[in-house]
Chain A
Amino acid sequence: MASESKMIMLRSSNNEVFEVEEALAFESQTIKHMIEHDCADTVIPLPKVSSNILAKVIEYCKKHVTSPKDDNNELESFDAEFVNIDKNVLFGLMSAANYLNIKSFLDLTSQALADIIEEKC
């Protein structure tokens, strides 16, 4: 990433503002389209995503953007640990992943929920 990467501001449903690098924000196709089509101002409002959920989404995207591409094992164990959380938080994450259109995150959370339903864990 360039040393002076553009920063994007994201506002959660409870008005907390998160500042993230553009490359990270672009993991979300929704945000990417909003910026590329000039639909967003200085701050992008995300009324359907609460602060704690948004914080976790940013954590996921950060890990996946900054990790070297061929370190699959580390990413896998990070992912597995990441979804090892309370069901209600997991639902929230999946909703956010769908709304923000982050495919890999959506697959990860969906599979985790399917596993819970099938009692695989």
Chain B
Amino acid sequence: MEWDSNSDVSGDDEGFLLNDGGPFPFPIDSLLQPAPCGFVVTDALEPDHPIIYVNSVFEMVTGYLAEEVLGRNCRFLQCRGPYAQRRHPLVDSSVVSEIRRCLEKGIEFQGELLNFRKDGSPLMNKLRMIPIYGDDDTIIHIIGIQFFTEANLDLGPLLRSSMKETASAQDRFRSSLSCNRLLQDGSRNNIHGVCGILHLSDEVLSHNILSRLGPRDIASVGSVSKRLYLVTKNEDLWRMVCQNAWGSETTRVLEAVPGEKRLGWGRLARELTTLEAAAWRKITVGGMVEPSRCNFSACAVGNRVVLFGGEGVNMEPMNDTFVLDLNCNNPEWQHIKVSSPPPGRWGHTLSCVNGSNLVVFGGCGQQGLLNDVFVLDLDAKHPTWREISGLAPPLPRSWHSSCTLDGSKLIVSGGCADSGVLLSDTFLLDLSIEKPIWREIPAAWAPPSRLGHTLSVYGGRKILMFGGLAKSGPLRFRSSDVYTMDLSEDEPCWRSVTGSGMPGAGNPGGLAPPPRLDHVAISLPGGRILVFGGSVAGLHSASQLYILDPTEDKPTWRILNVPGRPPRFAWGHSTCVVGGTRAIVLGGQTGEEWMLGDLHELSLAGSVV
């Protein structure tokens, strides 16, 4: 559009051409020209000025039908073809800036701009944009008048690339075949225009380069050409990629899922990265956990859920062990008969170490708080609880949090000690050695002491602490703070995670979960943390899922919406993750922990049907 400063356009309040047929607010003579002109009206009151009307000349010349463009901003004409995401580089950006300037000032624009038809052929658009004012001097519409002429440009063939994630793989590689100008003759070393990397054989490419890339990059590489698409379909390659991206511990857990139920590595990588197949569902199981109890601790070993202890009627600490094997077609709770079980307790932690072992620490027993450690090998012929007596154990405590590092090191932190004092220490017990010894992880500064928080392992040897009931002066508040520590450093220290929030904010930006304790925090492969459940401050729903990637430059909380019906409540001590991809919430729909016949499962990846 060219802005004609002499034109007689004024913000008449006599109405708009299309409304009441009154006097036109702009000189119509200039419109009555031999060349057909396109006519577009946009709604200036809506964000980004959506198109509300186009005439038939616009449709014929551009090739776009009205129904395809209504509701969109006109700038799509600057993109070459319907699939292009960006303005074509030959479109003069100074003209685009001029348009924006005129719109901001509320004045007419006249100028000439390169546009494209739907089939990608170029058009020169002599464009005139006129603001139409309403009663109170606000602009309510913008009219665009376009004189299209052929543009003398040779842009080459239009590459139809469907870059959307949901495009099927077939469409993707078919459409990118047109980009494939490879010569089959490989004897020349420097074929102009062909990327040298494609001279390597499939094996070398796959084994040496692709295996070092992350899942998203492999997916991108797979869309480049038919050959690369086929190379990236290889399950062994995906296994290497998953192992590199998620670590050998996670891969081992994922591999332990029995053959028939296991998704291929390629599909697993995709679904665990995009979480597109995450869903809630309800599972009914048999067997009974009796006597009934609450405040027990649940942990998963492979596909088996193990439950230990808890608080029975009359607040009696329990010491029995139950197992639920979710590999079976009809899973049932089974009581494990063990000789010499640990003393009964509640508010303890149960963690999986060394493959099939379970370790109990702390909790509140008959005679008060405990700091003993017991280990059980679930795969032994006659499982027995064995006490580990380590030198210098941490203070006795309950409602502390624990996690397992490197598959064999137990880390505990915080909790509630005698007389209700909250703790803020961090201890490590290496269960891979003959005689494990507790070692405190010294830190110059520790987050405020708390109970009911979570520790999650991510990125190999880093831990993330979230939430809990934290000390704040003489008071205690539910917290939504995030702290991380990198245990691969020589002198690990706690760091507060800050993100794109207000300046000086101590928390990641985005939609943060409301403060809570005794919630569930799951480590996703690739380093993200998923949080839900717990005792939540205020009236917020406990079933909303929140996800955070602490490895981002500016970690930001996001909400994850997942189909299926979640339980209304979920607690950290009664939720565990089986097979690396399924979070099992024990307890009834409204958090009744003694109702263990129905479970709620959040599966992060799809299932083999």
Q: Which A positions have Cβ atoms within 8 angstroms of B? A: 50, 87-88, 90-92, 94-95, 98, 106-107, 110-111, 113-114, 117-118
Contact = CB atoms under 8 A, between A and B. Distances in A.
Contacts of A92: 189, 196
B204 interface: yes
Contacts of A117: 209, 213, 217, 221
B204 A113 contact: no
Contacts of A90: 196
Given A114-B209, A118-B213, A94 B190 contact: no
Interface of B is mostly: helix
A118 B195 CA distance: 16
Given A91-B199, A95-B200, A118-B217, A111 B190 contact: no
B209 A113 contact: yes
A92 B198 CA distance: 11
A110 B206 CA distance: 10
B212 interface: yes
A107 B199 CA distance: 17
Contacts of B200: 91, 94-95, 98
Given A98-B204, A117-B217, A118-B217, A111 B196 contact: no
B214 interface: yes
Interface of B: 189-190, 195-197, 199-201, 204, 208-210, 212-214, 217, 221
Contacts of A118: 213-214, 217
A110 B210 CA distance: 9
B270 to A, nearest CB: 18
Q: Quick one: which of A50, A92, A95 has the most chain B CB within 10 A?
A: A95
22 contacts: A50-B189, A88-B190, A88-B196, A91-B195, A91-B197, A92-B189, A94-B200, A95-B204, A98-B200, A98-B201, A98-B204, A107-B208, A110-B208, A110-B212, A113-B209, A114-B209, A114-B210, A114-B213, A117-B209, A117-B221, A118-B214, A118-B217
Nearest to A90: B196
A106 B209 CA distance: 10
B190 to A, nearest CB: 7
A95 B212 CA distance: 17
B72 to A, nearest CB: 32
Nearest to A98: B204
A111 B196 CA distance: 16
Nearest to B190: A88
Contact of A110 (B189, B190, B199, B209): B209
Given A117-B221, A118-B217, A91 B212 contact: no
Given A50-B189, A92-B189, A98-B204, A111 B212 contact: yes
Given A90-B196, A92-B196, A94-B200, 17 more contacts: A50-B189, A88-B196, A91-B195, A91-B196, A91-B197, A92-B189, A95-B200, A95-B204, A98-B200, A98-B201, A98-B208, A107-B208, A110-B212, A114-B213, A117-B221, A118-B214, A118-B217
A117 B201 CA distance: 18
A30 B213 CA distance: 28
A91 B214 CA distance: 20
